[in-house]
Amino acid sequence: MLQIQKQNEYALFDMLQINRNIRPRKVDWMVVSISIIDLGNEYPILTTPPKRGIHYIWDGQHRFTARKKLGLPIYFIPTSKMNIKSVARLNMCQDKWNMGDVRDSFSKQDIHEYKVFKGYQERYEFSISTTLMLLCGRRWGKAREDFLSGDLKITNSISEANRFGDAVGDFSKYIEHNKHRDFVHAFKKLFDHPDYDHVTMMNKMEYLTRKMGKCPDIKEYMKQFEEVYNYNNRNPLRLV
C-alpha cells in the first residue's frame, strides 16, 4: 500500500511541463478553502518517485502552490503508476465546486446569511454576482472572497432589495432579458436616482417597449433607460 509522506521543503518538488498550466484564480480559491479547513493529509498530491532528488507532481499542482503560499507542509504519495493520460482522465472525473455549490453547502449548515441569500436569489432569479451586489453592495473581489470563505455578510436592507427586485420583475411583462446582469446593474442606477418614479417608467414601457432591446453592456442599457424614461419628460434624468 502506498504511504502518504510529509515534506516541508518545497524545493524538492517541481511541475511537469506536460501537465496543465497553473491557473492563478484556482490557486486563490484553494488558498481560501484550505484556510477554512486543511485536509492536506486526507487529500495528498501524487508525484513521481524522486528523480535526482526531485518529486515531479502528477496530480495536485494547484494544491501544492496554494499550500506553498500558506507555508503549509506538503502531503504526497510517490507513484510510478501514473502517466499524463491517466492524469487527464483523473481531472476530467473531478467536478470542482462552483459558487452555487458553496451557497447550498452553507445554507444546509443553517447559516442564516446564506439562507437569506439563497432565498432572495431564487425568488428573483438573479445571478449570484448580481445578488451579491444587491445584498452586500461591496467590491466584487472582496464580496466573492467572503462568500466563498463562509463569511458572507448581508449589509443592505432586505426590504429595499425586495422593492428593487419587484421593480425588476415588472419589466417581465414587456421584455425577456430583464434578469440579465447588465440590465439589472443599469436599472439599479436609475432606480436609485432620487427623482426616479417607477410608475412613470412602467407607463412609458406600455408604448416604448421596442426601444428596450438587449444591449452588450451596462452603459448601453443606461442610454436606453434615459431615452425611454425621458421621453416627453420636462425634467429629464441624466444617467450617462
> In this predicted model, what pLDDT tens digit does every residue of 157-195 receive, in sequence order?
999 999 999 999 999 999 999 999 999 999 999 999 999
Q: What is the predicted pLDDT for the residue at 33?
A: 83
Name which residue leads in pLDDT, 96 or 73: 73
How many C-beta atoms lie closer than 10 Å to residue 128's C-beta? 17
The predicted model gives 67-80 an average pLDDT of 95
In sequence order, what DSSP letters do the residues of the chain get, joined into one string? -PPPEEE--GGGEEE-TTSPPP-HHHHHHHHHHHHH---TTTS-EEEPSPBTTBEEEEE-HHHHHHHHHHTPPEEEEE-SS--HHHHHHHHHTPPPP-HHHHHHHHHHTT-HHHHHHHHHHHHHT--HHHHHHHHH-S-HHHHHHHHHHT-----S-HHHHHHHHHHHHHGGGT-S-TTSHHHHHHHHHHHTSTT--HHHHHHHHHHHGGG----SSHHHHHHHHHHHHTTT-SS-----
Residue 130 reports pLDDT greater than 90? yes
**Where residue 151 falls among pLDDT bands split at 50, 70, 90?**
confident
Q: What is the predicted pLDDT for the residue at 198?
A: 97
Inter-CA distances, 101 with 6, 131, 195, 224, Å: 31, 15, 40, 35
- C-alpha 67/C-alpha 133 separation (Å) is 31
The fold adopted by the segment(s) 5-92 is 3.90.1530
Name which residue leads in pLDDT, 94 or 192: 192
Mean pLDDT of the chain: 89
Nine-digit cell string for 4:
502518504
Domain boundaries, given as residue ranges, for the chain: 5-92, 99-229
